[in-house]
Amino acid sequence: MNKIGDQPSWLATCPKGLEELLAEELLELGAEQVKQTIAAVHFKGPLTLAYRVCLWSRLASRLLLPLAQIKLQSADDLYSHCMEIAWEDHFSSANSIRVDFVGTSRLIDHTTFGAQRVKDAIVDRLRNLEGERPSVDLKTPDIRIQARLHKGVVSVALDISGESLHHRGYRHEQSRGAIQENLAAALLLRSGWTQLARQGAALLDPMCGGAILLIEGAMLAADIAPGALRTAHRYGFFAWKQHNMEAWEKLQTEAQQRKQKGVEALTLDIRGYEANPRMVDMAMQNIQNAGLDEHIRIVHKSLQQFGKPTAEKGLLLTSLPYAEGFSEQENVKPLYAKLGQVLLKNFTTHWRVGVLTGNAELAREIDLSPTKQYQFYNGATPNKLLLFDDLRSKSALIEQRLQTTPPRQELSEGAQMLLNRLNKNQRRLSKWLKKSGVTCYRLYDADMPEYAVAVDLYGDALHVQEYAAPPSVPEAQARQRFTEVKQALKAYRPNAQIFFKERRKQKGSHQYHKLSSANSGVLIINEGPARLEVNLSDYLDTGLFLDHRPVRDMIRRMAKGKRFLNLFCYTAAASIHAALGGAEKTLSIDMSNTYLDWARRNFELNGLSEKQNPLMRADCLEWLKRGIGEFDLIFLDPPTFSNSKKMQAVLDVQRDHIELIRGAMQKLTGEGTLIFSNNFRKFKMDDVIADEFVVSNITGETLDPDFGRNPRIHHVWKITHRKDKRMKASDRAKNKARDGDASANQEKHHLGHERMAQRGKNNFWHKS
């Protein structure tokens, strides 16, 4: 075996903007011949240095051992040259591998094709030498290989780090827009935290989220190696033939000793503030995972409540929310302005302030001039770190700003027209609201085409969804109309909290992503006898579909003594109503852990036992084919479209509703009722369903007055078995075989499960 030399070449990758800091860090760790490039740094050093980088680098994403540079003349060159690399010097056919390919060209026009050719060369070479081939494992491979194509040259390297080095091991949950750990460390270093910590300064984050900045700051101050917490993560060199276990364990022991010493000496004031109680819980979990719960304090408090610090000097460092579109920007604009006021009032002397923002226009709302600024990238999004020192010169301005009352603005003609419509709608609904006791309702839904928003009231708060303007509407005109919407709403409810969203056609991973928000919009509302949690700030939808209010009430009235199944349950509001209506059991199924956790909180709010009302994470399409159970009442409310990675197939309600309904009817007792609903405006029920079952369109019965103007907001049907064809287990098996859903053996297995369910109805909630 040809071992690497005493001073091999290495390549450390990092997010764009961190190259200079990473080069300095590598020099401190003992690297030689350090050279920066875009999002990476080349250097030389012994194997022990590579181990030290994996253990101690706060900024690197991956550490690579370059193996070859391949200049492509044809697509076949990639395979032939990779066949010449001595892979057997690095791993054997007994190891699992993964190949990551980055970049395309005229010869290699797809990364999957490039990865396939590199993998084929590795597999063929080892099979020729050892008679066996390595397996491919895309999730937890023993060995990772990276191939990067740039300007006709493919750089092939062994990934020494394995899982990305920014995964420290303490982070409990990822959220969209949250900064990565190595970016957090870079912000701290650029802000001068290392020197400030030595001087005993405090570290504050007034909008701490998951507390990533605070944890990284504590680790820097306590001399904790970032890799010291990666106990559950595999490094790429663990299965490498040239791995020196003795040298690695020696470095680990040294890191643990330094950690113990540093934590014992850590006495700094490190604390964060967070308005969202869910994020507070996440932050505390992350801190506990990092073993720093005795050194970092988290307070449930909004920026509006953030006052004068107890510490005399320190660093205030925070990452402000990124906003897309007018609506989200409107949500966070007051936050930026408030931060500027807080800084001028309470952090004028002996404090350095660092603010990371991805929106230069919003940053102007802070109304302060930064002393320095640095550009970084959070993923593909450019961000700027704004540093502020010595704010004393502007502190006198804050009193004038706080005491000056801006002159009242007259409403524009358009805003006044919209306000008139809001008041008219309120008067129209007032009798119904008083009689029904409803407190959460739709007030306005694009009644006037030029003001295309939906306005919902949740108690005293307003939830406003702006429909994306068509391309034919100039941006200036769209912005002006949105300004008039804001004016009208503020005049309608001057003291109300208003949460703005932009509702546009959602695709892929953006279907359910978490939004940026300035304030926590988590409320507990009452709907009939039910208490439910809604979130007006963090997601496009609030956790409660208001248009389904009559459907939930109908389910509650039908549920007494019934076994209730809720498919695509979302936050399980329908299941809450069924349980409160006296259901014998409920089962709620969804693919999202976020929604199931939300549903669990809803059950707790109503004092309902999860033992009697279990929650199941499953693909509803697959569960209908294999799950056990027989139910008296089923609610089937699928999304119009879903291509979630968690699902085995793409869901299209128009295409798939026959399969969904048949599957649900397989689970329905002979006398039971299926309530099928969807919100696809162009939906058309296939005639085959009416041929097989008794189908009643009850949409008109499920629209309260607040949705009377929009009868296509949803479609609802009651579906039952035909009286002359009450389906027994054997009949359902025949139909299933006819539809080609399973083999005869699978049907026999399914029948066996159904007989078990009939013998013991209490088993219906179990997984198959």
**488 vs 491: CA distance, rounded Å:** 5
CA distance 242 to 237: 8
Contact 570, 548 (CB under 8 A): no
- Residue that wins the pLDDT comparison between 627 and 713: 713
- The answer to whether 458 and 484 are in contact (CB under 8 A) is no
Measured distance CA(11)–CA(562) in Å, rounded:
63
> Got the DSSP string for 21-53?
HHHHHHHHHT-EEEEEETTEEEEE--HHHHHHH
Which residues, at least 6 apart from 181, have a Cβ–Cβ distance to it below 8 Å?
A: 58, 166, 167, 168, 171, 212, 216, 226
Report the range of poorest mean pLDDT among 45-49, 158-162, 734-738. 734-738
Mean pLDDT of 153-175: 88
Could you tell me which of 461, 490, 465, 603 has the C-alpha nearest to residue 541?
465
Would you call 454 helix, strand, or coil by DSSP? strand
> Mean pLDDT throughout 138-165?
95
Reduced 3-state DSSP string for 362-373: HHHHHCCCCCEE
In one letter, which amino acid is 98? R
What is the C-alpha to C-alpha distance for residues 123 and 137, in angstroms, rounded to an integer?
13
- pLDDT average, residue stretch 737-759: 39
Give the confidence band of 2 by pLDDT, cuts at 50, 70, 90: confident
Q: What is the pLDDT of residue 231?
A: 73
Query: Does the fold of domain 539-763 match that of domain 181-403?
Result: yes
Amino acid identity of 730? Answer: S
Element (H, E) at 467: strand 461-467
The predicted structure's pLDDT at residue 643: 67
- Whose CA is closest to 498, among 516, 515, 521? 521
- pLDDT of 708 > 80? The answer is yes
Residue 367, sorted as left (phi over 0), alpha (psi -120 to 50) or beta, turns out to be left
Q: What is the pLDDT of residue 267?
A: 95
DSSP conformation letters of 94-159? TSEEEEEEE---SSS--HHHHHHHHHHHHHHHHHHHHS--PEE-SSS-SEEEEEEEETTEEEEEEE
- Report domain 413-504's class: alpha beta
Residue 329 near residue 366 (C-beta atoms within 8 A): no
Q: Report the distance separating Cα 619 and Cα 592, nearest Å.
A: 9
Chain segment 121-141, per-residue pLDDT in tens: 999 999 999 999 999 999 899
Element (H, E) at 259: helix 245-265
User: pLDDT digits over 447-494, tens only?
Assistant: 998 999 999 999 999 999 988 777 788 888 888 898 899 999 999 999
Name 374's bridge partners: 385
Q: Give residue limits of the domains in the chain.
A: 9-159, 181-403, 413-504, 539-763
CA distance 184 to 319: 9
CATH number of 181-403: 3.40.50.150
Q: How much of the chain is helix, strand and coil, in % rounded to 5? A: 40, 25, 35
pLDDT digits (tens, 9 = 90+) for 677-704: 999 999 999 999 999 999 999 999 999 9
- 3-state SS string for 603-614: HHHCCCCCCCCC
Reduced to 3 states, what is the DSSP secondary structure of residue 213? helix
State how far Cα 418 lies from the chain centre.
35
Confidence of residue 512 (pLDDT cuts 50, 70, 90): very low
Could you give the strand order of the β-sheet that contains 9-13, starting from the edge strand earlier in sequence? 32-37, 40-44, 9-13, 62-71, 153-159, 143-150, 96-102, 135-136
Query: What is the distance between the alpha carbons of residues 151 and 762, in angstroms, rounded to a whole number?
Result: 64
Q: For 11-64, what is each residue's pLDDT tens digit? A: 999 999 999 999 999 999 999 999 999 999 999 999 999 999 999 999 999 999
Distance in angstroms (rounded) separating the CA atoms of residues 499 and 521: 8
Question: Interior CA angle at 177 toward 175 and 178, to 5°?
Answer: 60
Task: Check whether 584 has a pLDDT greater than 90.
Answer: yes
Strand stretches in 679-758, DSSP E: 693-697, 715-721
The residue among 543 and 408 whose pLDDT is bigger is 543
Q: Which position has the higher pLDDT, 391 or 96?
A: 96
Based on C-alpha coordinates, what's the Rg of the chain? 30
pLDDT confidence band for 337 (50 / 70 / 90): confident
500 pLDDT higher than 80: yes
Mean pLDDT estimate for the chain: 87
The string of pLDDT tens digits covering residues 606-625 is 999 999 999 999 999 999 99
Alpha helices in 364-517 (DSSP H): 392-403, 413-436, 475-492
Q: Name the DSSP letter for residue 283.
A: H
For residue 734, give the amino acid letter.
Answer: K
What is the structure's pLDDT at 697? 96
In which order are the strands placed within the sheet that holds 461-467? 440-445, 453-458, 461-467, 498-503
Sequence length of the chain is 768
Angle at 219 (CA atoms; ends 217, 225), nearest 5 degrees: 140
Whether this prediction's pTM lies above 0.75 is answered by: no
Decide which of 589 and 381 is more confident: 589
Using CA atoms, how far residue 67 sits from 87, 146, 147, 732, in Å, is 9, 10, 10, 60
CATH number, span 539-763: 3.40.50.150
Using the predicted structure, report yes or no on whether residue 145 has a pLDDT greater than 50.
yes
DSSP SS3 for 391: coil
Query: For residue 680, which amino acid is it?
Result: F
Task: Answer yes or no: are the C-beta atoms of 60 and 43 closer than 8 Å.
Answer: no
- Element (DSSP H or E) covering residue 245: helix 245-265
The single-letter DSSP state of residue 763 is G
Let me know if 139 is exposed, middle or buried by CB neighbors in 10 A (0-12, 13-18, 19+).
exposed
Report the alpha-carbon distance of residue 139 to residue 176 in Å, rounded: 21
Q: How many angstroms separate the Cα of 227 from the Cα of each of 60, 170, 248, 517, 709? A: 11, 11, 12, 32, 59
Summarize pLDDT for 377-436 with one digit per residue, the tens. Answer: 887 888 999 999 877 655 544 445 545 555 556 889 999 999 999 999 999 999 999 999
**For residues 148 and 398, what is the distance between their CA atoms, to the nearest angstrom?**
53
HSE-CB at 284 with a 13 A cutoff on CA atoms is 12
The string of pLDDT tens digits covering residues 231-240 is: 767 799 999 9
Asked if residue 740 has pLDDT above 50, the reply is: no
Q: What local confidence, expressed as pLDDT, does residue 694 receive?
A: 97
- Any idea what the Cα angle at residue 40 is, between residues 158 and 249, rounded to 5°? 50
Mean pLDDT, rounded, for 159-179: 81
Per-residue pLDDT, 321: 82
What whole-number percentage of the chain has pLDDT above 90?
A: 68
**Which pLDDT belongs to residue 647?**
54
Q: Are 183 and 376 in contact (CB under 8 A)?
A: yes
What CATH number has the domain spanning 9-159? 3.30.2130.30
CB 382 within 8 A of CB 349: no
Phi, psi of 267 (to 5 degrees): -125, 15
Residue for token digits 């929106």? 359
707 phi, psi to nearest 5 deg? -115, 15
Distance CA 36, CA 26 (A): 11
Rounded alpha-carbon distances, angstroms, from residue 166 to 162, 379, 634:
11, 13, 45
Q: Give pLDDT, residue 407.
A: 57
Phi/psi of residue 358, nearest 5 degrees? -105, 10
Mean pLDDT score, 552-580: 97
Q: Identify any residues that bridge with 677 across adjacent strands, giving them in sequence order.
A: 716
Residue 476 has a pLDDT of: 84
Contact assessment for residue 601 and residue 533, using Cβ atoms and an 8 Å cutoff: yes
CA distances from 48 to 232, 237, 251, 491 (A): 22, 12, 8, 67
Do residues 550 and 703 lie in contact, with contact meaning Cβ atoms separated by under 8 Å? Answer: yes
- Residue 756 pLDDT more than 50? no
